[in-house]
Chains A and B, each alone.
Chain A
């Protein structure tokens, strides 16, 4: 079965700073990768996803993530964060074949952006 590791549990930034949140997964086969975001008091929602093709994926609100297969990584980036980006961010993976189609989530990263 697959697993996901998010290295940064808490990140604190000032507005306009650049963001990179790490995500590594363990699974030897083909995967689909996701980043979900949970704003305070709201439900989890999809930020971006990777299935195949261009490993650089662009999502909503200026976020992007790069799939590096050799590193089993799918790091989330944003060049300039805003106060409204304060939220919990979760990386998730599903196995396309041989593993589990059930989304497996990392522990999450809490991002606080100071105005």
Chain B
């Protein structure tokens, strides 16, 4: 596609429910990143993929968070048993490779846990 696409753009969920956030990177981009943007907190790195593998999961805030990427393309970030502190904008970015110098961002998914 022309850019990084994320869905849904907005998600309101009840505390305790599971949510899935989707990211469709730019075609051909092998590196994919997930960040969380909370008000006044900047961008918090969550996880990255090189191809389908995620060598570093240390950024995930708890074991309720998981992510996968299939076919070297679409990625899904899953949050289980959501909590109010999970409310944030979840951003996905992709780049041609891990060492490429520019990341292209999607518009994000605004998650609100009520």
Contact = CB atoms under 8 A, between A and B. Distances in A.
B90 interface: no
B105 A44 contact: yes
Query: Main secondary structure on chain A at its contact with chain B?
Result: loop
A68 B101 CA distance: 19
Interface residues of B, number: 22
A43 B106 contact: yes
B113 interface: no
Interface in B5-35: 33, 35
Interface residues of A, number: 22
Query: Main secondary structure on chain B at its contact with chain A?
Result: loop
A51 interface: yes
B42 A49 contact: no
Contacts of B107: 42-43
B88 interface: no
Interface in A70-115: 90, 94, 101-108
A44 B45 contact: no
Interface of A: 6, 9, 32, 34, 36, 42-46, 49, 51, 90, 94, 101-108
22 contacts: A9-B40, A32-B101, A34-B101, A43-B105, A43-B107, A43-B108, A45-B105, A46-B102, A49-B102, A51-B101, A94-B101, A101-B99, A102-B33, A102-B45, A102-B48, A102-B56, A102-B98, A104-B45, A105-B35, A105-B42, A108-B42, A108-B43
